[in-house]
Amino acid sequence: MTPPGSLIGLLGGGQLARMSALAGRRMGYRFRTFDPAGEAAPAAPVCERVVRAPFDDPAALEEFARGLDVVGFEFENIPPASLRIVERFCPVHPRWQALEICQHREREKNFLHGQGFPHAAFRVVTTLAELTHAVATLGAPCVLKTAESGYDGKGQLKITPGMGLAEAWEQWSGGRPRRGVVEAWVEFDAELSVICARNGHGQTVSFPVFENVHAQHILDVSIAPARFAPEVLREAVALAEAVTEALDVRGLLAVEMFLTREGKLLVNELAPRPHNSGHLTFDACVTSQFEQHIRAVCGLPLGGVDLLRPTVMVNLLGDLWRADGSAPDWTPVLAEPDAKLHVYGKAGAKPARKMGHFCVLGKAGQPVEAVLAKAREIQERLRAK
Ligand code: AMP
């Protein structure tokens, strides 16, 4: 167990590291982060030190790791070899093997398939001929997704019936060799996620299921409690815990799923770190996902995850920022006594960039629909400003 007072290293200094460090500092932990953006990284102001270097710089990784008690990460696209360098100096959680699977869509799908977890049908493609074969087998519509470095719909192309595949391949690959995964189109009723924590001492704790709504492939809103039948909620948690166990994660694992029109759960994506859909836990649960991240990585007993009040989280993207780079007028959020504003302190606002979020908390026992309506109203008023 790594007790409060210890120095924790976080690879990646984005908002997930910032919120993990904020939660950990409250418990007495100290933090160092590693980020190519250096002092401009959102976590830098809440860490004692930031090491600024590319994620594959061995000398910088060694400099970062020396003197740390334990290391976690918040960013998926860190080379597993970099975790292995850090591991020579101090323990890293989750282990590099889990990261290696989750950061690569082909390995992730093969893992899910090999372990017998439910997922959308898929084919791996590296050429136009393979794409043609995959579309013939899976049918259109389907989605072509990049195997590596894809997030928030980046590197994805929906293939519709009758679409010219040669042009599609050219557009997607840019004429360069590229590995992709073609997924059958899922007619889903809803999207959901379960964030599980394991502490390496036999304890696994899952947050309540979050219901997620995406807009333009990016998470827009998360809703808790999720509005699904009790057996769906139970099945989602059991599935997520089985995946977390199979990956032998010590830390957090977010498991994103589709609930199909037939009522079946399919695993879509895995993330071995805090997850955007869990941001509402900061305001709405006994223990936040960020504190749980620190507890799990440090091998502490895990905290309780009860949802205290119905809550809706809304992402704040760079689209809301003004042309001169200034932040929007936050009055619509601030004027609502049961809303919480979180701004990540990122310098450059760009369309689709996650700049912050807000949560609206309902009264205990209030239907979450009313909370959702209030959150949507605030979102509209921010957009209109
Ligand atoms: P991903 O990057 O895989 O999480 O995809 C981003 C979003 O695109 C998902 O949250 C879904 O809303 C949508 N999406 C991804 N894959 C599929 C699919 N196979 N069928 C239908 N919608 C999908």
Burial 350-384 (b: 16+ CB within 10 A, else e): eeebbbbbbbbbbeeeeebeebbebbeebbebbee
Tens-place pLDDT, residues 346-379: 988 999 999 999 999 999 999 999 999 999 999 9
DSSP per-residue codes, 30-47: EEEEE-TTGGGSTTGGGS
Tens-place pLDDT, residues 11-57: 999 999 999 999 999 999 999 999 999 999 999 999 999 999 999 99
Going by alpha carbons, the residue nearest to atom 22 of ligand 1 is 186
Compute the distance from residue 22 Cα to the ligand 1 centre, in Å.
31
Helix axes 105-115, 230-246, angle to 10 degrees: 110
Per this entry, what is the length of the chain?
A: 385
- 131 bridge partner residues: none
Go through the domains of the chain in sequence order and give each one's CATH number: 7-92 (3.40.50.20), 121-184 (3.30.1490.20), 188-384 (3.30.470.20)
What pLDDT is stored for residue 350 in this prediction? 94
Distance of CA 156 to the CA centre of its chain: 17
C-beta of 330 in contact with ligand 1 (< 6 A): no
Compute the distance from residue 191 Cα to the ligand 1 centre, in Å.
9
Question: Among the atoms of ligand 1, which is closest to the Cα of residue 153?
Answer: 2
CA dist., res. 199 & res. 356, Å (int): 28
C-beta of 219 in contact with ligand 1 (< 6 A): no
Torsional class of 105: left (φ above 0), alpha (ψ -120 to 50), beta (otherwise): alpha
Going by alpha carbons, the residue nearest to atom 14 of ligand 1 is 217
Pick from 195, 265, 271, 279: which is nearest to 235 by CA?
Answer: 265
Going by alpha carbons, the residue nearest to atom 2 of ligand 1 is 153
Going by alpha carbons, the residue nearest to atom 16 of ligand 1 is 143
Tens-place pLDDT, residues 217-243: 999 999 999 999 999 999 999 999 999
Determine contact, residues 241/248, Cβ cutoff 8 Å. no
CA dist., res. 21 & res. 10, Å (int): 9
Positions of the chain with pLDDT under 50: none
